Homo-oligomer: A and B are copies of this chain.
Amino acid sequence: MQTIVRSDAYLRQKGIKASFQRVSIYEYLQNTTAHPSAAKIFADLHPIIPSLSRATVYNTLNLFVERKIAFPVQVDGAEARFDLCEPHHAHFHCVVCQTIYDIPGEDAGVPEALDGFEVLEAQLHYKGRCPQCR
């Protein structure tokens, strides 16, 4: 299957051994816009890969974050939710339905020199109610 081969190659190119579990998690992230939590990823993938363990989901996500393949979106005191790294965009978190939207127009626009500070990342995070929940 082409997709598998491609994800496979992509991970390998990032210096990551492309296990079935890792490829599955990577493709799961590719095919959703829901910014799923580790628990959600596990819940959805476990029926398909019955041997999958929570620890592997966490290990894999941590690895992806470390290698800049994915990054965590922190919402309040809740569990981390994950997004593939893509061109800078802001996030909108609906406090009613808990959906996290990508806001592609708004750019967190990384570093204007903050005089003395070395800026590695910038995140712009909105919170409010989405069109469905107003």
A72 smallest CB distance to B (angstroms): 7
A116 to B130, Cβ gap below 8 A? yes
A118 to B122, Cβ gap below 8 A? no
A101 nearest in chain B by CB position: B117
A31 smallest CB distance to B (angstroms): 24
Q: Copies per complex?
A: 2
A80: chain B residues within 8 A (beta carbon): 77
Q: A72-B77, A114-B92, A134-B118 are in contact. Are A125 and B125 (CB under 8 A)?
A: yes
**Residues in A lying within 8 Å of B, measured CB to CB:** 72, 74-77, 80, 92, 95, 101, 103, 106, 108, 111, 114, 116-131, 134
Instruction: With A92-B117, A111-B128, A121-B127 given, name 14 new contacts (CB 8 A).
Output: A72-B77, A74-B75, A95-B120, A101-B117, A108-B124, A111-B126, A116-B130, A117-B126, A117-B130, A118-B134, A119-B127, A121-B126, A121-B128, A122-B127
